[in-house]
């Protein structure tokens, strides 16, 4: 299934925010800053990336469901989407 803008908008925003947070973590490490602050930021990066993945899967599920409702063949089966979802866990 191809990623379409309507499927990735919120996820893309989250990933861009995570990129900024990751850059901040790298800078903190390079500057020898407090490890607690760096790890707090790193946890936020990890959570943002996880949520972006879940958003993409949820959008894909809605997209495929809409295709089925319209009598079309979805690009992915429920099993394929489930496998992708479980790969995020």
CATH of the domain at 44: 1.20.58.1000
Tell me: the pLDDT tens digits for 26-50? 999 999 999 999 999 999 999 999 9
Q: Residue range 49-62: average pLDDT?
A: 89
Q: How many CA atoms lie within 13 A of 38 on its CB side?
A: 12
Asked if 62 contacts 74 with a C-beta cutoff of 8 angstroms, the reply is: no
On the question of pLDDT at 74 being above 90, the answer is no
Count structural domains, the chain: 1
**In terms of residue numbers, what domain contains 45?**
5-87
How far apart CA 29 and CA 52 sit, in angstroms, is 25
pLDDT at residue 85 in the model? 87
Higher pLDDT, 77 or 30: 30
pLDDT at residue 41 in the model? 94
Q: Does the global pTM surpass 0.85? A: no
């Amino acid at each position: 299934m191809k990623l379409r803008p309507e499927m990735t908008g919120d996820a893309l925003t989250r990933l861009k925010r995570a990129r900024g947070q990751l850059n901040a973590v790298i800078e903190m490490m390079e500057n020898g800053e407090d490890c607690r602050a760096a790890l707090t930021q790193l946890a936020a990066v990890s959570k943002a990336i996880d949520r972006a993945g879940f958003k993409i899967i949820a959008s894909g599920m809605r997209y495929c469901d809409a295709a089925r409702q319209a009598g079309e063949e979805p690009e992915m089966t429920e099993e394929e989407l489930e496998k992708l979802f479980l790969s995020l866990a």
